[in-house]
Structure 1
Amino acid sequence: MDAPVARTESTSAVSVEAQLSALLGPLRRAVLRRTRAAEGLPDLPEAQIELLRLLVGTEKMPPSLAATELKVAQSTISNLIRTMTAAGLVERVPSSTDGRAAVLVASPTARELLARYDRASAAMLRESLAKLPAAERRRLESALPALQQLLVVLSE
C-alpha cells in the first residue's frame, strides 16, 4: 500500500488543509520509493536530491547561497556538501571571483543520476495516471496551476 486515500465522502468533516497535509508526505515518498525501485537508483535523501536539483539548474553556486535557496542552516548545507562530495555527487571548485572561496558544482555522475530519476519518475507517474479514470486525470490536471501557485505562496 503506497499512500492513504483521501476520503472524498467526508470532505466537509476534514478541512482541505488537513487532507492536503496528510497526502503530501505519503505521495512524495511513494513517488520516490517506486521511482528508485524501478530504476535501481540509490536511496538519496530528499535533501540531497533538492541540492542536486538546485546545482543542476545553475553553473556554480556558493554554499551560502545554496543554504539560502533551500532555506536550511549553514551547518546543514555543510553536512550535505561533505556527504555528497564523498559520494562523488558534488564538486567544490575555486571561485573565479574570490580565490579563498569555493563554489559548488553538480558532478557528471550527479547530473546523470538526476536525469535517470526524472525519466523514471515521469514514466512511473504516466503509468500510474493511466490507471485512473479519465475524469480523475482531468481533475488532477486542472489542479496543477493551483498547486503551482500554492508552492509560490509557501516559498515566500
Structure 2
Amino acid sequence: METPAPRTDSTSHVPVEAELSSLLGPLRRAVLRRTRAAEGLPDLPEAQIELLRLLVARGGLPPSRAAAELNVAQSTISNLLRAMTAEKLVDRLPTPGDGRGAMLVASARARVLLDRYDRASAAMLREALAGLPPTDRRAVEYAVPALRRLLAALSG
C-alpha cells in the first residue's frame, strides 16, 4: 500500500506538519515576550514556567517525578531548582510520611506570577484575535480541539 503524500495547506506547497513545526516556537515566544512586556513580568525561561505549571497542576512532586514528567534529565531539574529556589519560585518540603526526600511545590509568589501571566496572555491573545478577519478567528477557534488532541497524541 502506498503512503499518501503529506497534506498541504491551501496557500503554500509546504506540508502542513512542516508549517506547524516552523510556527510553534515563534508563536510561543511571541506570546511569552508580549505578555511579559505587557505585565512587567520577570524574564523566566520557558523551562521554569513549564516546571511551575507542572507543580501547580500536580500539587507538588518529588524532583525525580518532575524530571520524568517533563522528560528531562535529573541534572536539568537540579539546575532549574537551584535558580528557582533562589528566586523564591519553588519550595522544597519534606516528603510526607518519609521526611528524607523532597517534595517540590510552586511557591505563593510563583502562583501569583503564573496567574498574572495567564490573565495577560489571554487578554493579549483576545486582542490579537480580534484584529484578525472573522474567517481566521473561526479557523483558530475550530483548530483548538484538534491541537489539544495533537498534544495528547504527542504526549502519550
Instruction: Provide TM-score, normalisation by structure 2.
Output: 0.92
Matches of 1:26 and 1:71, distance apart in 2: 22
Q: Secondary structure at the match of 1:93?
A: strand
Identity of aligned residues (%): 70
In the TM superposition, residue 8 of structure 1 has moved relative to its aligned partner by 5.2
Unmatched segments (≥5 aa) in structure 2: 1-8
**Which string of whole-angstrom CA distances, capped at 9 and with x for unpartnered residues, describes residues 62-117 of structure 1?**
11111111111111011111110011000101111212111001111000000000
Matches within 5 A, 1:9-88: 9-10=11-12, 13-88=13-88
In the TM superposition, residue 22 of structure 1 has moved relative to its aligned partner by 0.8
Matches of 1:8 and 1:33, distance apart in 2: 30
Matches of 1:137 and 1:116, distance apart in 2: 24
Q: Secondary structure at the match of 1:9?
A: coil
Matches of 1:143 and 1:133, distance apart in 2: 16
Q: Which residue of 1 aligns with 2:90?
A: 90
Instruction: Provide TM-score, normalisation by structure 1.
Output: 0.92
When the two chains are superposed, the root-mean-square deviation of aligned CA atoms in Å is 1.1
Unmatched segments (≥5 aa) in structure 1: 1-6
Matches of 1:153 and 1:57, distance apart in 2: 20
Q: Secondary structure at the match of 1:104?
A: strand
Matches of 2:10 and 2:84, distance apart in 1: 42
Matches of 1:19 and 1:60, distance apart in 2: 36
In the TM superposition, residue 57 of structure 1 has moved relative to its aligned partner by 1.4
Q: Which residue of 2 aligns with 1:119?
A: 119
Q: What stretches of structure 1 move > 3 A for 4+ residues in a row?
A: none
Matches of 1:30 and 1:108, distance apart in 2: 26
Q: Which residue of 2 aligns with 1:139?
A: 139
Q: Which residue of 1 aligns with 2:152?
A: 152
**Which string of whole-angstrom CA distances, capped at 9 and with x for unpartnered residues, describes residues 40-63 of structure 1?**
001100000001101111222111
Matches of 2:99 and 2:142, distance apart in 1: 50
Q: Secondary structure at the match of 1:84?
A: helix
